[in-house]
């Protein structure tokens, strides 16, 4: 399978057929677990004709406390699975994995990679008092990539970083309203609120599923920044520019996990409000 986006106007004969086959390939989306479903939902809404493969690496979650070589090894296994399925683009629906590997993978594999990173830029447009809180995993916050991103804004805004150990695990287990989840949220949010933040960035895709619970704890006037929709919009732009966007037919979604199928299915049902078929990652 050719891994180069078709340039359209230069296609002819069998070359064009090969490029068409590539353009019809699925989009691979992965996360350490179910968090990336928050991005997948927007992708499916904006690109209903695309076939989507979603891998939850639940058997190896969380990524947030693992070292970069472990995250790279896991991301490589999943990326190579997507490539074996003819994927034309890969979305790393995980801030932690994006921070660790996206630049390397962009250079190593010949297809577009779209990643997620904490939305500091949109937060800057929303904050009125210039105090912005960032909730993310320890892995994201300690990464070089995040450090470079935050340095770009540090002169114009006060950034308060809050690592949130345990929070992604609660979402992974589908325990959105459990007392322990609320206790963790109250603990982490109170540390940010003590800094007078008026804007909070959800810097981990798992946290999107806690938006309702977060809003119950914080004041209505505090802005929440969630970049899931923006990532899906970025994917649309990348596909259009590379002439890889499918515009007709009904797309499909296939869900895979590296963890327990029953547990992942139960959590996905809670998060998506519907039953889905979950397969074991081959
Ligand atoms: N959902 C992931 C992220 O956006 C990571 C959660 C974890 O595995 O720690 O960073």
Of 226, 246, 269, the domain-final residue: 226
| CA–CA gap between residue 52 and residue 250 (Å, rounded) | 11
Q: How confident is the model at residue 23 (pLDDT cuts 50, 70, 90)?
A: confident
Band (pLDDT 50/70/90 cuts) for residue 15 is low
- Count other Cβ atoms within 10 Å, centred on residue 113: 22
| Rounded mean pLDDT, 266-271 | 98
Note whether 53 and 25 are same-domain residues.
yes
What is d(CA 187, CA 183) in angstroms, rounded to the nearest whole number? 6
Distance from the alpha carbon of residue 35 to the mean position of ligand 1, in angstroms: 7
**Does residue 3 lie in a domain region?**
no
Domain closes at, from 185, 211, 226: 226
CA atoms 125, 131, 133, 134: torsion sign: positive
Does residue 228's CB lie within 6 angstroms of at least one atom of ligand 1? no
Residue 88 and residue 182 in one domain:
no
Q: Does residue 250 have a pLDDT over 50? A: yes
Whether 65 is catalytic is no
Q: Which of 226, 247, 268 is the last residue of a domain?
A: 226
Domain that holds residue 89: 20-116+229-280
pLDDT at 255: 98
Residue of 11, 16, 65, 204 with catalytic role: 204
Query: Cβ atoms within 10 A of the Cβ of 245, count?
Result: 18
Is the pLDDT reported for residue 101 higher than 80? yes
Domain count within the chain: 2
Q: Starting from the edge strand earliest in sequence, which strands make up the sheet with 52-56, in order?
A: 113-115, 89-92, 27-31, 52-56, 253-257, 278-280
Q: Which residues pair with 148 in a beta bridge?
A: none
Poorest-confidence range of 3-7, 31-35, 255-259, 276-280? 3-7
Identify whether 15 is part of a domain: no
* 60 Cβ inside 6 Å of ligand 1: no
Q: Do residues 220 and 237 share a domain?
A: no
Give the distance (Å) from ligand 1 centre to CA of residue 139.
9
For the cut 50, the answer to whether the pLDDT of residue 12 exceeds it is no
CB distance 206 to ligand 1 below 6 Å: yes
Q: How far is the CA of 93 from the centre of ligand 1 (A)?
A: 9
For the four alpha carbons of 207, 209, 215 and 217, in that order, the dihedral sign comes to negative
Mean pLDDT in residue range 170-199: 98
- Domain match, 233 and 93 both: yes
pLDDT above 70 covers a percentage of the chain that reads 94
Is 133 found in the same domain as 212?
yes
| Percent above pLDDT 90 for the chain | 89
CATH number at residue 256: 3.40.50.1860
109 and 242 assigned to the same domain: yes
Q: Per-residue pLDDT for 76 more than 50? A: yes
> Do residues 52 and 144 share a domain?
no
Mean pLDDT of the chain: 93
pLDDT tens track for 123-158: 999 999 999 999 999 999 999 999 999 999 989 999
Q: Is the pLDDT of residue 8 over 70?
A: no
**Residue count of the chain:** 282
Q: Say yes or no: 26 and 81 in one domain.
A: yes
Q: Tokens 């019809």 label which residue? A: 24
Q: Please check whether residue 252 lies inside any domain of the structure.
A: yes
Is the beta carbon of 35 within 6 A of some atom in ligand 1? yes
């Amino acid at each position: 399978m050719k891994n180069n986006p078709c340039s359209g106007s230069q296609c002819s004969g069998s070359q064009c057929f090969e490029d068409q086959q590539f353009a019809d390939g699925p989009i691979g989306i992965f996360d350490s677990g179910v968090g990336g479903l928050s991005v997948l939902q927007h992708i499916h809404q904006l690109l209903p004709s695309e076939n989507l493969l979603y891998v939850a690496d639940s058997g190896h979650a969380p990524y947030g406390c693992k070292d970069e070589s472990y995250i790279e090894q896991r991301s490589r296994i999943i990326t190579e699975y997507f490539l074996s399925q003819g994927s034309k683009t890969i979305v790393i629906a995980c801030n932690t994995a994006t921070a660790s590997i996206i630049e390397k993978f962009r250079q190593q594999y010949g297809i577009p990679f779209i990643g997620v990173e904490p939305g500091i830029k949109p937060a800057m447009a929303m904050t009125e008092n210039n105090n912005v809180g960032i909730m993310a995993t320890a892995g994201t916050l300690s990464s070089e990539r995040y450090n470079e991103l935050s340095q770009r804004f540090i002169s114009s805004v006060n950034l308060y970083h809050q690592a949130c150990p345990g929070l992604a695990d609660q979402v992974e287990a589908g325990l959105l309203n459990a007392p322990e989840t609320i206790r963790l949220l109250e603990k982490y949010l109170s540390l940010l609120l003590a800094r007078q933040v008026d804007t909070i960035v959800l810097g981990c895709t798992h946290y999107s599923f806690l938006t309702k619970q977060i809003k119950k704890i914080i004041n209505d006037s505090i802005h929440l920044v969630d970049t899931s929709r923006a990532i899906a919009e970025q994917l649309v732009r990348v596909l259009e520019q590379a002439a890889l966007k499918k515009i007709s037919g009904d797309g499909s979604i296939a869900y895979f996990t590296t963890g327990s199928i029953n547990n992942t299915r139960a959590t996905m049902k809670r998060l998506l409000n519907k039953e889905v078929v979950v397969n074991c990652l081959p």
